[in-house]
């Protein structure tokens, strides 16, 4: 498929630039199905209340509690292979759809693992993935990144971080970026709405941003693929982290079937 890179090349690009774009991972008909389902789910959502959330942006959180069409995105082998090689054992840190409407301004720049109290040069602990369900362009709210701004978590100004770049990519593509990379949702000066899905993979010893074990409870989780169950947190990081009654939660899920 177009634009596919080897794991080695993707990892090298992440190390050098802080991001990598993979095209052609999902066929158009699947993207259309996900897009249509998300648009319906977002109809009743309100716009954000500040510049960070976006006053012309709608967000849908805890996606795996609300629709199944995004399951395959979380389980994409090409992306999981990169996440596992980069971070080791991972779980999903967050899942959110973002729908940016015309008239939205640029989001403040930030780095995603800023939610954790990590030292300035601590190793990477998070891999973000932004799935383009519409084409991402210069003027419709495409993600703005600052290449090579990763690996330093204590900047107080973006003026010394380098040149900005819009992640232009066709729908069906995925923008992979490190948790310490500075980025922002772009301004939407077009007449079109831009829809994307953000999935974040974190080392499994970290507390996830999205409490998936509450939003996707046991009776729902039992019907999911084991790989997705594990990513949602129904798993144990060896040797002892995350057990239930001294056991791996995966065994408890299977026993209740």
Query: Do residues 173 and 252 share a domain?
Result: no
3-class DSSP state for residue 143? coil
Q: Is 164 exposed, middle or buried (0-12, 13-18, 19+ CB in 10 A)?
A: middle
Query: Do residues 80 and 16 share a domain?
Result: yes
Helix-strand-coil percent breakdown of the chain, rounded to 5?
30, 25, 50
CB contact at 8 A, 79 and 129: yes
Distance CA 88, CA 91 (A): 10
Query: Do residues 144 and 123 share a domain?
Result: yes
Query: Do residues 81 and 172 share a domain?
Result: yes
Say if 1 falls within a structural domain: no
Mean pLDDT (the chain) is 93
Say if 2 falls within a structural domain: no
Please choose, from the candidates 113, 126, 133, 18, the residue with its C-alpha nearest in 3D space to the C-alpha of residue 73.
133
List the chain residues with pLDDT less than 70: 1-3, 155-159, 255-257
Q: Residue 2's pLDDT is what?
A: 46
Count the domains in the chain.
Answer: 2
The CATH number of the domain holding residue 97 is 2.60.120.620
Say if 128 falls within a structural domain: yes
End-to-end CA distance of the chain: 38
CB contact at 8 A, 202 and 125: yes
> Which tokens go with 231?
């990513």
Helices (H), the chain: 7-17, 28-42, 71-74, 77-87, 212-215, 218-221, 226-231, 249-255
Query: 126 forms bridges with which residues in the sheet?
Result: 202
Cα distances (Å, whole numbers) of residue 92 to 24, 205, 233: 23, 11, 8
Say if 145 falls within a structural domain: yes
Query: Do residues 137 and 165 share a domain?
Result: yes
Hunting for tokens 């369900």 — which residue is that? Answer: 133
Half-sphere exposure of 82 (CA within 13 A, CB side): 33
CB contact at 8 A, 204 and 237: yes
Distance CA 19, CA 40 (A): 31
Q: Residue 1's pLDDT is what?
A: 41
Query: Do residues 129 and 187 share a domain?
Result: yes
Query: Do residues 188 and 223 share a domain?
Result: no
Domain that holds residue 66: 7-208
Cα distances (Å, whole numbers) of residue 132 to 25, 60, 154, 200: 11, 15, 29, 15
Q: Residue 120's pLDDT is what?
A: 87
Query: Do residues 165 and 257 share a domain?
Result: no
Using alpha carbons only, give the angle 208, 211, 217 rounded to the nearest 5 degrees: 135
Query: Do residues 203 and 222 share a domain?
Result: no
Query: Do residues 100 and 197 share a domain?
Result: yes
Share of the chain above pLDDT 70, in %: 95
Query: Do residues 244 and 156 share a domain?
Result: no
For the stretch 184-237, pLDDT in tens is 999 999 999 999 999 999 999 999 999 999 999 999 999 999 999 999 999 999
């Amino acid at each position: 498929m177009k634009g596919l890179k080897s794991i080695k090349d993707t990892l090298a690009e992440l190390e050098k630039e802080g991001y990598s774009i993979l095209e052609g991972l999902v066929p158009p008909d699947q993207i259309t199905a996900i897009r249509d389902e998300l648009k319906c789910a977002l109809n009743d959502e309100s716009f954000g209340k500040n510049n960070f959330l976006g006053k012309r942006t709608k967000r849908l959180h805890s996606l795996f509690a609300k629709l199944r069409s995004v399951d395959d995105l979380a389980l994409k082998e090409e992306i999981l292979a990169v996440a596992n090689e980069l971070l080791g054992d991972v779980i999903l840190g967050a899942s959110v759809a973002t729908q940016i409407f015309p008239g939205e301004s640029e989001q403040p720049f930030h780095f995603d693992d800023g939610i954790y109290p990590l030292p300035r040069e601590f190793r990477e602990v998070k891999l973000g993935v932004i799935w383009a369900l519409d084409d991402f362009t210069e003027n419709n709210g495409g993600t703005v990144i600052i290449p090579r701004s990763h690996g330093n978590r204590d900047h107080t100004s973006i003026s010394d971080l380098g040149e900005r770049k819009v992640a232009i990519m066709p729908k069906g593509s995925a923008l992979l970026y490190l948790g310490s990379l500075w980025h922002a949702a772009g301004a939407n000066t077009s007449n079109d709405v831009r829809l994307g899905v953000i999935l974040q993979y974190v080392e499994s010893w970290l507390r996830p941003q999205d409490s998936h074990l509450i939003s996707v409870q046991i009776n729902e989780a039992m019907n999911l693929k084991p790989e997705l169950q594990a990513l949602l947190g129904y798993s144990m990081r060896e040797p002892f982290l995350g057990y239930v009654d001294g056991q791996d939660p995966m065994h408890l899920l299977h026993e209740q079937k």
